[in-house]
Chains A and B, each alone.
Chain A
Amino acid sequence: MADMFAFAESRGGALRKVALEAVSAARRAADATGGGEVHALLIGAPGIGGKAETLGRAGADLVTVVEHTGLARYSPEVFAATAADRLRGGAYRAAFFAASAEGRDLAPRVAVSLGVSMASDLTDFALEGDALVGQHPTHIGKIITTVRLTGRPAVVTLRPGAVALAEAGRTPRVEQAVPALDPAAARVVVTSVGAKGDSQLDLADAPVVVAGGRGLREAANFALVEALAAAFGNAAVGATRAVTDDGWRDPSTQIGQTGRIVSPDLYVAVGISGAIQHLAGMRTSKTIVAINKDKDAPIFKLADYGIVGDLFEIIPRLTDEVRKARAGP
């Protein structure tokens, strides 16, 4: 029996899906050791504690809520000090964070504060004796590295979308705590957070990603991609580096080696030839659809379903058909 720690990431007062994934992973790990407790840490502005029960549904036994008017936004030093403080206060076997922008910033700070090493971006893991063994896509996804991490707690970040959500249905105990560092004393300060992009869903959370490339010819034609994403209703819009470099789309939507890595249930590549750098960001998608005028485009080697032809004819038709399919018979 061993207790597990999970960091519950939130933004703007709302839990992110990766928070539930971290708690779910901790639940699974605790159960695998014979039923230890899962302790989640939830930090934010006053009111964030209202989200504690949701974490119970994913398997948290205890939620430590740290509310402070100075913590409406992420504060790397305060979050790290507070997480490290909680981890020092318990005999945790492992600590789970998301391999999100925030989690990848936070977890190394926590690990080094505790004097332990950490493993990053795991798609799966198991506790084996005094080690945690996990799978980590490396070399832009072209290699799967099995890593072995020793030390307590085993600090890990989990690839968003890789962990199945637990349905534990618990009602957690909730305790209030104060930040381990006064937010006013932090050296690194997040001064603003600006939402970006036109689609509601984030690339990491969306079950469907519709991405556009140079084949769209100009920025305005991304309206076709937006419309298709809207027809799915659960899609986010991504782009290739060629497109973000040209300023057609925001850089935060770039999918690929130097951008975002996504693995949705369905990836629709519109006017994307499939440069290796782009494939590195989406090759683990469960189903891949490609629409491109060049039948020899590399994307067709990867696509489960490819249609060769003029995307300006195909996408409007596809958008109509998807809308009809979504509406049901």
Chain B
Amino acid sequence: MKIAVCIKRVPDMDLRFAIGAGGKALDPAGLKFDIADFDGYAVEAGLRLVEQQGPGEVVVVSVGPVATQETLRKALSMGADRAIQLAADEVPFDGMSIATALAAELKDGGYDLVLFGRMATDSANQTVGPMTAHLMGLPCVTAVSKLDLAAGRGTAERQLEGASESVEFPLPAVVTIDEGVARARLPSLKGIMAAKKKPLEVKPAQLGEARLTVQSIALPPDRPPGRIIGEGPDAVPELIRLLQTEAKVL
């Protein structure tokens, strides 16, 4: 089984963000980067499928600048077999532009399965997976919380609002991974050493035209600072009063 996993290098979301000069990007000072949460789950899902289903290969692919290689190496240290960097000065915000580059690379790769994280935690568009699938002519299932493959077919579960749905599809296919499939393993020391010797190919990204762009970014408006109105059950009547008269939600 040959599996491609498309991943993205994103800033660590736990840090405090500031707006960079120009107002279109984060201030790079103090940022740390890592593989996007859901993309880590996708790498883990790919590794487990190959481990469970016999011989195979997991290829990790990412669009981005040289620093992207660090993220690809991390996926290699988790156990992926080889990596492809589709080199671009920056990652476009437009999912269609990224999908164009990925589809061009993956189309003739003979992959049984192409995995993505449900969405990148920074740009949060959640569009690249299904767009890549369409450009490759493959069936696509998005945001799956459970995934099983057998005899050239897949079954998956998707979480809806207040419900879940079961989905069946044939391979080859594109699947985007949500919370629930697998937590990303931590690279072992042995894995980190091995990753240094694994192949990492660099090719120019054949990006599509970017028609979705960032005009500006801003920090969300501050909420008023929190207020503790009292202690214990005796504070409940005051809470009720405030909900009725101030917040007007009761």
Query: How many Å lie between the Cα of A259 and that of B14 in the bound state?
Result: 16
Number of chain B interface residues as a range: 35 or more
Q: Could you say which residues of chain A place their CB within 8 Å of the CB of B134?
A: 109, 112-113
Contact A73 B140 (CB under 8 A): no
Hey, which chain A residues are within 8 Å of B215, CB to CB? 133, 146-148
Residues of chain B within 8 A (CB-CB) of A257 are 13, 37, 121
CB of B124 closer than 8 Å to a CB of A: yes
Q: Would you list which residues of chain B between 87 and 139 have a CB under 8 Å from chain A? A: 93-97, 99, 121-127, 129-131, 134-135, 139
CB of A307 within 8 A of chain B?
yes
Chain A 247-265: CB-based contact to B (< 8 A → 1; otherwise 0): 0000110100111100001
Instruction: State how many residues of chain A have any CB contact under 8 Å with chain B.
Output: 99
B93 partner residues in chain A, CB cutoff 8 A = 145, 147
B22 shortest CB reach to chain A, Å: 13
A111 within 8 A of B: yes
Chain A residues lying within 8 Å of B140, measured Cβ to Cβ, are: 76, 109, 188
A197 contacts B162, CB within 8 Å?
yes
A252→B219 contact, CB < 8 A: no
Residue pair A309, B249 in contact (C-beta under 8 Å): no
Q: Is the CB of B131 within 8 A of A111?
A: yes
Contact status of A118 and B95, CB under 8 A, knowing A251-B179, A287-B243, A304-B226? yes
Does any Cβ of A come within 8 Å of B148's Cβ?
A: no
Q: Is the CB of B220 within 8 A of A305?
A: no
CB distance from A87 to the nearest CB of B (A): 15
The chain A residues found within 8 Å of chain B, CB to CB, are 11, 73-74, 76-77, 100-102, 104-105, 107-109, 111-113, 116-121, 133, 136-151, 160, 187-197, 201-205, 207-208, 236, 251-252, 254, 257-260, 265-266, 276-277, 280, 283-284, 286-290, 295, 299-310, 313-314, 317-318, 321-322, 325-326
Q: 5 pairs across A/B with beta carbons < 8 Å?
A: A112-B130, A116-B211, A145-B216, A187-B169, A301-B226
Residues of A within 8 A of B225 (CB): 301
Q: Give the chain A neighbours of B169 by CB distance below 8 A.
A: 187-189
CB distance A287 to B247 under 8 Å? Answer: yes
Q: Determine if B230 is an interface residue (Cβ-Cβ < 8 Å).
A: yes
Q: How far is the CA of A315 from the CA of B240 in the complex (A)?
A: 12
Complex CA distance for A317 and B240, rounded to whole angstroms: 11
When the two chains form their complex, are residues A105 and B143 in contact, meaning their CB atoms are under 8 A apart? yes
- A307/B231 in contact, CB under 8 A: yes
B239 is contacted by which of A117, A120, A204, A307 (Cβ under 8 Å)?
Answer: A307
- Chain B CB within 10 A, most for which of A146, A160, A197: A146
- Tell whether, in the assembled complex, residue B127 and residue A314 are in contact, meaning their CB atoms are under 8 Å apart: no
Closest partner residue, chain A, to B122 (CB atom): A139
With A144-B220, A251-B179: A188-B226 Cβ-Cβ less than 8 Å: no
A289 to B140, CA, bound (A): 40
Contacts of B168 in A (CB 8 A): 188-189, 191
A311 to chain B, nearest CB (A): 10
Return A43 CB to nearest CB of chain B, in Å.
16
Instruction: Give the chain B neighbours of A287 by CB distance below 8 A.
Output: 243, 247, 249
Whether the pair B159, A252 counts as a contact (CB closer than 8 A) is: yes
Given contacts A113-B134, A287-B249, A307-B239, contact A194 B17 (CB under 8 A): no
Which residues of chain A come closer than 8 Å to B52, judged between CB atoms?
none
> CB of B217 within 8 A of chain A?
yes
Tell me whether B167 is interfacial, beta carbon within 8 Å. Answer: yes
